[in-house]
């Protein structure tokens, strides 16, 4: 994947969460520093960004932030910049707004979860995401995966992916939805306009984009692993190592 194929040189990496479901592993370390197959979760994601040619990663921190900062100092690429949420955990939406208002995020930018573990399909996953981006139609483009390729995930699904690429959220009366958002998206500044104050979920912004017909998805062609709890680690390691 070449830099010319990218829609941005910057990604925000969400690393501020408390990681409560990953206890006891997160009692003394933040979830991004939990290891899977010999690599920390955040390094697995930063490896994807580096392989794609993304130059800068804006990493938000809150829980045990000094450990994350000390770990990132050892990393050469991508360049890492800290968005400090020590004073208040802002959730996914509020965290993006803080970094955006600080001038750290260009238009558009990638946004990824630091605990994302995936295996690429026929080609680079971020290349697939970038190739589908259309700023004239989209406020955000989400990477989603069919439930059958979501390992260790026990949820009911998040979205319906239309033939035109638009996303519709699973309704309250629906037992399930066929696809799951897997923590990677391209975000236009337009999505961030008129945000709520303080902590809030990105879902608030997505709901408005859905209503305006501007929330889209692209299917991940490989496999994705839900790294929510400690018992998810061994099967993910086996898969990553080809077992």
List, for residues 173-231, the tens digit of each pLDDT value: 899 999 999 999 999 999 999 999 999 999 999 999 999 999 999 999 999 999 999 99
Q: Residue 1: pLDDT band by 50, 70, 90 thresholds?
A: very low
**Over the stretch 106-149, which tens digit does the pLDDT of each residue have?**
999 999 999 999 999 988 899 899 999 999 999 999 999 999 99
Structural domain count of the chain: 1
Comparing CA positions, the residue from 49, 186, 189 lying closest to residue 107 is 189
Q: Note the pLDDT of residue 10.
A: 98
Domain that holds residue 16: 3-240
Domain at 231, CATH number: 3.90.550.10
Q: Do strands 179-187 and 109-113 pair parallel, antiparallel, or not at all (unpaired)?
A: antiparallel
Binned at pLDDT 50, 70 and 90, residue 154 comes out as: confident
Rounded CA separation 238/241 (Å) = 5
Q: Which residues contact 177 (CB under 8 A, 6 or more apart)?
A: 156, 157, 158, 159, 160, 169, 170
pLDDT tens digit string along 80-99? Answer: 999 999 999 999 999 999 99
Average pLDDT on 234-240 reads 93
Alpha-carbon gap, residue 56 to 114, rounded angstroms: 14
**pTM exceeds 0.75:** yes
To 5 degrees, how large is the angle CA 135–CA 119–CA 37? Answer: 130
């Amino acid at each position: 994947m070449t830099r010319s194929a990218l829609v941005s040189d910057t990604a925000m990496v969400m690393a501020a969460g408390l990681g409560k479901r990953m206890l006891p592993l997160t009692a003394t370390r933040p979830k991004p520093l939990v290891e899977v197959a010999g690599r920390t979760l955040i390094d697995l994601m930063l490896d994807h960004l580096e392989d794609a040619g993304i130059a800068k990663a804006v990493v938000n921190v809150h829980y045990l932030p000094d450990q994350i900062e000390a770990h990132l100092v050892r990393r050469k690429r991508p360049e890492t910049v800290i968005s400090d949420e020590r004073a208040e955990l802002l959730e996914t939406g509020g965290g993006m707004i803080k970094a955006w208002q600080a001038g750290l995020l260009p238009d558009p930018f990638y946004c990824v979860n630091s605990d994302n573990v995936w295996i690429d399909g026929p080609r680079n996953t971020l290349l697939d995401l970038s190739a589908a981006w259309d700023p004239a139609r989209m406020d955000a483009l989400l990477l989603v995966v069919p439930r059958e390729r979501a390992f260790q995930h026990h949820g009911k699904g998040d979205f319906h992916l239309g033939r035109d690429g638009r996303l519709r959220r699973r309704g309250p009366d629906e037992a399930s939805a066929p696809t799951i958002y897997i923590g990677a998206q391209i975000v236009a500044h337009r999505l961030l306009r008129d945000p709520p104050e303080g902590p809030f979920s990105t879902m608030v912004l997505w709901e408005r984009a859905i209503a305006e017909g501007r929330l889209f998805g692209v299917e991940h062609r490989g496999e994705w692993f839900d790294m929510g709890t400690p018992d998810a680690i061994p099967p993910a390691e086996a898969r990553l190592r080809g077992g």
